[in-house]
Structure 1
Amino acid sequence: MLGRHSRLLLVAGLLAAMPFGAGPTHAATPDTYDPWPGLVQDIFNNRPMDDGAGIVSIEMPYRAEDAAIVPVTLRVKMPPADTRRVVAITLVIDQNPAPMAARFELGQDSSVSEISTRVRVNNYTDVHAVAELSDGKLYMTKTFVKASGGCSAPAAKNADEAKARLGQIRFRQFAKPTDGPQSGAREAQIMIGHPNNSGLQMDQVTRLYIPAFFIDELRIWQDDSLVLAMRGGISISEDPNIRFSYVPNGAKRIRVEAKDTEGHVFQNEWKVENPGI
């Protein structure tokens, strides 16, 4: 799947030179090239997809304040009577140079129901969320975002500051004072210091493009049980930030491992407050 990354970059480059127009429903018009059918072939091997309105939702601002850090939230909306589970959610930003922003794998026993992060958006675009269920079926939903230039926006931190923060991982757990052993889902957040260079940003001193350099793998465990894994690309914003809801299993620690495209491996772990929850 990722082996076709170069083809996606080429397609996105051609798209950037084409006029973009959107009707009231933001669907492609005869004068506007719609990349989605080709992305379905390249990313999902042309597998059939059903309407995912009752399975997964995607929330993003209609007009982004900052195209380099656009918030996105994915929510699992499986009906209680449905015995299947969501195995993975793929986030696709259609008009980005590398459209597949991230694939999130949900741990079998973690009951992850919400994932939030920040992404770069390069052009006005549809953004798709595709959920893969345990029976192998795919369900798709989408939204539309007005933003431009996110993938080429200069880094917020200078090179020295970014280097000093490289690989620093922080963990936060969010719990209400009334939470107890029967409270169910909790929220947590993983923050990683990393420039996540897109390869499209220019060094303001040398006027040369900064090579792509980003977190491409992330795994989060409760003890030895997988909570969430991410395979990311250049669309994930600088200093990747993943917030998620999950059901604690009584583990005494949360472990995180991240890898980047230069082979660095970053690890950390934390004791869990109230491990009996």
Structure 2
Amino acid sequence: MKLLRDLITAACIAATYPAAVSAGVSAIDGREPERQARWQEISAYIFGDRPIEAGDDLITIEAPARAQDPALVPITVRVLRKDEVRAVHLVIDDNPSPYAAKISFGPAGDPSEIKLRVRVNDYTNVHAVAETSDGELYQTRTFVKASGGCTAPIGVSDAEALQNVGRMKMKFGGGDHPNEATLMIRHPNFSGMQINQVTRLHTPARYLDRIRVSYGEQTVFELTGDISLSSDPVIGFTYDQSENGEFTVHASDTKGVSWKGSVGAPVRMDE
């Protein structure tokens, strides 16, 4: 009888919320209506009363169905019609601070692909919302099984975690896109929920809240972040290389400390 009730429940939920099944949500757990209500609450807080349409033909999101490490969950967002999108919003619904990041693209930006590592604190939907040039919103989502990503300890002392804070590296290539780069920034991104293994007290929150990447004189993207970004963030992105130039990265954290780094891009080979 229990199995029959579960199957009936799953069928009813799938009929009412068809996206749940396609997003990989286990409808049998009975929490899909709760998750839908949660998303409505969060989206209203972030976007107000602006309508959000289904956007699977404009934006996609990939993440592991079950995270190997909840503090380092890889997320890939792809924009299928890059010229229409000016920003991407990443929301991890059941994290303590759900609004993980907003990535706004500048003249040298190419939103075709964004890769991030994030913390996931519970079984949750993860939403990616594309904002078009005329202000319309389109969302897609996936479901991730993880637990405790925001409370997971860094693995070293706070002092060790802060060594070389702000150090940056950038590498190029490695994917299918001709202009692809990966930015790595040394920063523990303390969430404020982690226990110091020596003092047994909570380590105060301190995280990168703004990262701006420029190419020559033009902005590639500006990222506004929160505690959901992993420690030592790794950000993969694509860019528009109209001419040879230099990348400049400005980063700042919630303590008001800022860093700057520069690196030359690979020489563009015109056909």
Tell me if TM exceeds 0.5.
yes
- Output the CA distance in 1 between the equivalents of 2:192 and 2:111: 32
Output one character per residue of 1:157-209: Cα deviation in whole Å (capped at 9) or x when no partner: 33233222201011111168xxxxxx973110110000100010011121111
- Output the CA distance in 2 between the equivalents of 1:91 and 1:155: 23
- 8 A Cα contact 1:93 1:127, kept in partner: yes
Matched, 1:210 2:203: yes
- Output the CA distance in 2 between the equivalents of 1:25 and 1:255: 47
Report the 3-state secondary structure (helix = DSSP H, G, I; strand = E; otherwise coil) of the residue aligned with 1:34: helix
- 8 A Cα contact 1:87 1:108, kept in partner: no
Matches within 5 A, 1:72-151: 72-78=75-81, 85-151=84-150
1:24 Cα offset (Å): 5.2
Give the aligned length. Answer: 246
1:33 Cα offset (Å): 7.6
Report the 3-state secondary structure (helix = DSSP H, G, I; strand = E; otherwise coil) of the residue aligned with 1:122: coil
Matches within 5 A, 1:32-43: 34-43=37-46
Partner of 2:11 in structure 1? none
Counterparts in 2 of 1:155 and 1:142: CA distance versus 1, 3 Å? same
Matched, 1:255 2:248: yes
Matched, 1:29 2:33: yes
Counterparts in 2 of 1:243 and 1:25: CA distance versus 1, 3 Å? farther
Output one character per residue of 1:107-148: Cα deviation in whole Å (capped at 9) or x when no partner: 234323100010000000001000000111100000000000
- Output the CA distance in 1 between the equivalents of 2:179 and 2:266: 12
Please give the root-mean-square deviation of Cα atoms over the aligned residues, in Å.
2.2
Partner of 1:244 in structure 2? 237
Q: Hey, which bits of structure 1, 4+ residues long, moved more than 4 A?
A: 24-27
- Output the CA distance in 2 between the equivalents of 1:184 and 1:94: 30
Structure 1 unaligned segments of length 5 or more: list them.
1-20, 177-182
- 8 A Cα contact 1:71 1:117, kept in partner: yes
Identity across matched positions, percent: 41
- Output the CA distance in 1 between the equivalents of 2:36 and 2:134: 33
- Output the CA distance in 1 between the equivalents of 2:177 and 2:232: 29
Output the TM-score relative to the length of structure 2.
0.85
Q: Which amino acid aligns with 1:120?
A: R
1:228 Cα offset (Å): 1.2
Report the 3-state secondary structure (helix = DSSP H, G, I; strand = E; otherwise coil) of the residue aligned with 1:237: coil
Output the TM-score relative to the length of structure 1.
0.83
Report the 3-state secondary structure (helix = DSSP H, G, I; strand = E; otherwise coil) of the residue aligned with 2:267: coil
Residue number among 48, 58, 66 corresponding to 2:51 in the alignment: 48
Matches within 5 A, 1:155-174: 155-174=154-173
Q: Which amino acid aligns with 1:166?
A: V
Partner of 2:3 in structure 1? none
